[in-house]
Amino acid sequence: MDDLTLILNAGSSSLKFCVYRRRAGSGWTLDVRGQIEGIGTAPRMSARDAAGRSVEDSRPGRLADAHEAIEHLAGWLRSRYEHTRVVGVGHRVVHGGRHYSGPTLVTPAVIEDLRALIPLAPLHQPYNLAAIEAVAARLPNTPQVACFDTSFHRGQTPVAELVPLPESIRNKGVQRYGFHGLSYEYIASVLPDAAPEIGSGRVIVAHLGSGASLCALHRRRSVDCTLGFTALDGLCMGTRPGSLDPGVVLYLFQTLGMSAADVERLLYKQSGLLGISGISNDMRDLLASDTPAARLAVDYFVYRATKEIGAMAASLGGVDGLVFTAGIGEHSAEIRRRICIASAWLGIDLDDDANTRRGPRITRPGSRVSAWVVPTNEELMIARHTAALLGLVAARA
């Protein structure tokens, strides 16, 4: 009987999944990756095999929440995989707080700890936990592993983690945590092969997706990240503003009389590219639009990224390479071009042809600082962690 490991990345309306399979006598290989989108509205399920061929494209009818989505996925897995068993499930969990500095076997006590972090990641954490609970209800004896977006950043210096408020507040867990850690950890793991010249140097990784951040890597370890206490800080994102004068938030409460729920919605769902443009949170739409508001949104995105690249270079005391990854970073030659040109003062000499071809190296040979495109793979990182931890569990049993 073959073993399966399931990797889940559960969001508010989507469930991304990967199935890794271990055939008797061989190692783990990716078998299928897919997603259920539109949970709660108009669900659609799609999946591709390891070669990229479509193996599923359907509209499942109503799926109200994570439990029903997992139920649907379980039925699909049963019909696709006979004579197999799920030996472990790995989850992306956005916030691990102060204490979870590595992948963790899920227990009821762990779930309680993670539930306490929901206010710090309201857009992600509840859905990550709902997926864990839905699996636990179906497969109570299958070990589950939580892999955190914050863990990779633990080990930064006290000043990099500091939120400069009184100790009585900091004692309640108010510090910079950093996010997108699974993506950065994956990039750090492939850097020696993908970009050998900078693999052990000072590197700024730009994860530019619907959430966006930068990570400063020194010898492949995180020394700084533009995301902090929550996933609201730093770069302009699809629907989140990035860095914001905290006085603006006071003004929203005190003068505009907004409620906490309204402010939360504004900051997580209505700001950033969507808020500036009034059109869309999708960079493709904005690049295709010639309205002044869309142009302003793109200009601000580039401006903010460039400014924060300068700050990360200062954190590192200099920089050897810049790596682009995630949806915008991997697929938009135009945004990469604009950020590289605006960062030319750092010593980045863009090679337009290489950039259009998507690299992997997108600077000219003599460029003092090189720039690269390296596709991320958060699910593979989760799979590696899950396999490693389950191996330990099996060895101990």
Binding site for ligand ADP (CB under 6 A): 209-211, 238, 282-284, 287, 326-328, 331-332
Give the residue with the Cβ less far from ligand ADP, 204 or 319. 204
Give the residue with the Cβ less far from ligand ADP, 308 or 378. 378
Taking the complex as a whole, how short is the minimal distance between the CB of residue 368 and ligand ADP, in angstroms? 28
- Beta carbons within 10 angstroms of residue 344's beta carbon: 12
Edge-to-edge strand order for the sheet containing 54-58?
54-58, 44-49, 28-37, 15-22, 2-10, 84-93, 144-148, 104-105
Letter string b/e over residues 224-236, b meaning 16 or more CB atoms within 10 A of that residue's CB: bbbbbbbbbbbbb
Taking the complex as a whole, how short is the minimal distance between the CB of residue 85 and ligand ADP, in angstroms? 30
Q: Which amino acid, 394?
A: A
Give the residue with the Cβ less far from ligand ADP, 98 or 284. 284
Spot the catalytic one: 2, 49, 65, 149.
Answer: 149
Long-range pairs, 174-177, Cβ under 8 A, ≥24? 174/229, 175/98, 175/229, 176/225, 176/228, 176/229, 176/233, 177/95, 177/96, 177/97, 177/98, 177/120, 177/150, 177/153, 177/227, 177/228, 177/229
Give the residue with the Cβ less far from ligand ADP, 228 or 238. 238
Taking the complex as a whole, how short is the minimal distance between the CB of residue 325 and ligand ADP, in angstroms? 8
Shortest CA distance to 176 belongs to which of 79, 255, 112, 97?
97
Is residue 113 flagged as an active site residue? Answer: no
Give the residue with the Cβ less far from ligand ADP, 22 or 358. 358
Shortest CA distance to 115 belongs to which of 101, 102, 100, 103?
100
Taking the complex as a whole, how short is the minimal distance between the CB of residue 127 and ligand ADP, in angstroms? 13
- By annotation, the residues acting in catalysis are 149
